[in-house]
Structure 1
Amino acid sequence: WFKVEAAAGSQKNNSNKAFDAAAFEAERLALDAESRRAMAEAAYPKAWKWVIRKRIWDVMEARNFANNPRPVHHRIPNFVGASVAAEKMRELDVFQVAQCVKVNPDSPQKQVRFLTLSDGKKLLTPQPRPRTGFFSVLDSNMLTLDTIKEACTSVGVAKHGQPIGLDKKIKVDLIVIGSVAVDPRTVQGIAELEYGMLRYMGAIDDSTPVVTSVHDCQLVDDIPVEKLLIHDVPVDIICTPTQVIFTNTFMPKPQPLQRCNLCTRIYWDKLSPEKLGQIRILREFKKRIEQETGQKLPTGPSEKLPPIAQRSRRG
């Protein structure tokens, strides 16, 4: 799921300060730890997804199939051989012809982001801090070799990416997502909100290929198809360090956001007016959903935010 974090202010959006990469990275790591703690607390031990995920996490730790960051629990695992799997993805026809690739921001897909930019494509990736937009676009033509390497990290996205809003006209040719576990038969993915946002924006459609890269141990055969929901994203191609699997999935892709109610995946009742006041893209999204559905979405109780979550406003 997607849980909105009331993150600290991005120095990039503060015209009076230079971008502080060290401070940004320290904040990112702190928020990552906080998110993982929240995920662990929210986990229901008997929920089928959590049972499968925990099994994969345990195996990867026990067999040392993961690189840092570790432990891998409650995150997309940075698996051993991720770069090899990325190279296999690069050889795919759908990757070679793509002009704009949306890639998740997780560690195991870092090489995919690098190959996207180094091959002269546009990279679309979620913003590290969704204040001015939900996604950022990075144009390889605007980057040097050194900045391409940096642009593959969260710090680089914040420094070099261009935030885009819901009205941005953009066509995405390929979607790359991260996975904890994937079943070639049911090909369940986890990037529901991002996929729904792109459908909402008209950037993708049913024909847009969805690819994931995982370790071979992350392939499972016990995801129950009858329990998958309309917002679960099916995967068309799976790349591992040893093989490429074309799933030929029969599962339909999630429909545009306003029709499949993915908006419920945002915890609106946890977002205080103060937090919404900091994240313009979510305020805009909330307003649009309310206009389209004719229903008022909930808002969390008012709160006094800590100093770290404050920032100066421009204009």
Structure 2
Amino acid sequence: MTTLDQAKAAVRDRVWRHLLTQGVVPDDSYGTIPGFHGAEATAERLAELEVWKDARTIKANPDWAQLPVRTRALQDGKLLYMAVPRMASLKPFYLLDPDTLGLPPEEAAQSREAAQVADNVGVEAMQPIDVVVCGSVAVNRSGARIGKGAGYSDLEVALLIEAGLVTEETTIVAPVHQLQVIDEEIPETEHDFSVDLIVTPDEVIQCEQRRRPSGIVWENLTAEKVGEIPVLKKIYEY
């Protein structure tokens, strides 16, 4: 583990412990993108924003924490791309079209149900993304974020940037609990992206220091990481 990895791990540990101590997340939240009390209110606050109202396509993580946002996207008639957990497919996104769902939005938006009813798609079959909803353990007001450490969210965004689907017109949003918004600096690597908006149950924070990779930073990936993600392995070998 590098010094930067250790610094990130220390931030996660502090935030997870604080959330648990304050009783705002379920008891089994350590080590996860935590679901939090107020997630539904956060989704409602996000849905009030013009950037959401204007959006036609949403990309979201499959974490339980983002379920209210995914549900709201489908209820609002938006095309939803949900990442396949761990990018474990050559077509690493589920396509959920509200016009063709065979289930109520609150069911179809669940990761397990989506795996059963949604089509898997690769970037070549996707439309440009208007809003990216990213799961986070912690964010700061400059827009730096940190996930649970696996790096999949960063790779998903990098893949979409490289495919021209996430552009300067795309807004990246972190819906989190207020206690996940921290004042300290968050260590960042070349693959890490910043968020444009932080939405909590209590406020919307506009982040001014946009930072995004230009695409997949291959030199930052180990051969093991590339080998375990089918779509990256295919691109690399090509």
What TM-score, normalized to structure 1? 0.67
- Report if aligned partners of 1:169, 1:201 keep a CA contact under 8 Å in 2: no
Flag the 1:228–1:131 CA change in 2: closer, same or farther, 3 A: closer
- Report if aligned partners of 1:89, 1:239 keep a CA contact under 8 Å in 2: yes
- Report if aligned partners of 1:189, 1:233 keep a CA contact under 8 Å in 2: no
Between the aligned partners of 2:176 and 2:169, the Cα distance in structure 1 is: 22
Q: Are residues 1:81 and 2:32 paired?
A: no
Deviation at 1:207, TM superposition (A): 2.6
Question: SS at the partner of 1:238?
Answer: strand
* Partner in structure 1 of residue 89 of structure 2: 131
Question: SS at the partner of 1:47?
Answer: helix
Q: Residue type of the partner of 1:209?
A: T
Match of 1:112 among 69, 90, 93: 69
Q: Are residues 1:167 and 2:124 paired?
A: yes
- Report if aligned partners of 1:172, 1:204 keep a CA contact under 8 Å in 2: yes
Q: Residue type of the partner of 2:88?
A: P
- Report if aligned partners of 1:177, 1:189 keep a CA contact under 8 Å in 2: no
Question: SS at the partner of 1:167?
Answer: helix
Flag the 1:174–1:262 CA change in 2: closer, same or farther, 3 A: farther
Q: Are residues 1:101 and 2:42 paired?
A: no
Q: Are residues 1:143 and 2:101 paired?
A: yes
Match of 2:234 among 261, 270, 287: 287
- Report if aligned partners of 1:147, 1:156 keep a CA contact under 8 Å in 2: no
Question: SS at the partner of 1:182?
Answer: strand
Between the aligned partners of 1:155 and 1:266, the Cα distance in structure 2 is: 29
Question: SS at the partner of 2:128?
Answer: coil
- Report if aligned partners of 2:174, 2:195 keep a CA contact under 8 Å in 1: yes
Deviation at 1:188, TM superposition (A): 2.4
Deviations 1:252-275 (A, max 9, x none): 311122xx3277167348x5xxxx
- Report if aligned partners of 1:200, 1:256 keep a CA contact under 8 Å in 2: yes
Match of 2:207 among 247, 252, 270: 247
- Report if aligned partners of 1:137, 1:161 keep a CA contact under 8 Å in 2: yes
Deviation at 1:147, TM superposition (A): 3.1
Flag the 1:100–1:186 CA change in 2: closer, same or farther, 3 A: closer
Flag the 1:192–1:79 CA change in 2: closer, same or farther, 3 A: same
Between the aligned partners of 2:160 and 2:215, the Cα distance in structure 1 is: 8
Flag the 1:268–1:231 CA change in 2: closer, same or farther, 3 A: closer
* Bigger mean CA deviation after superposition, 211-220 or 126-135: 126-135
Q: Which consecutive unaligned segments of at least 5 residues does structure 1 have?
A: 1-41, 292-315
Between the aligned partners of 2:194 and 2:4, the Cα distance in structure 1 is: 24
Higher relative strand content? 2
Two-structure CA RMSD over aligned residues (Å)? 2.4
* Partner in structure 2 of residue 47 of structure 1: 6
Match of 1:178 among 127, 132, 135: 135
What TM-score, normalized to structure 2? 0.88
- Report if aligned partners of 1:193, 1:262 keep a CA contact under 8 Å in 2: no
Q: Residue type of the partner of 1:238?
A: I
Between the aligned partners of 2:111 and 2:51, the Cα distance in structure 1 is: 25
Q: Residue type of the partner of 2:232?
A: F
Between the aligned partners of 2:116 and 2:74, the Cα distance in structure 1 is: 15
For the pair shown, which has the larger CA radius of gyration, 1 or 2?
1
Percent identity (aligned): 29
- Report if aligned partners of 2:33, 2:136 keep a CA contact under 8 Å in 1: yes
* Partner in structure 2 of residue 158 of structure 1: 115
Equivalent residue pairs, number: 232
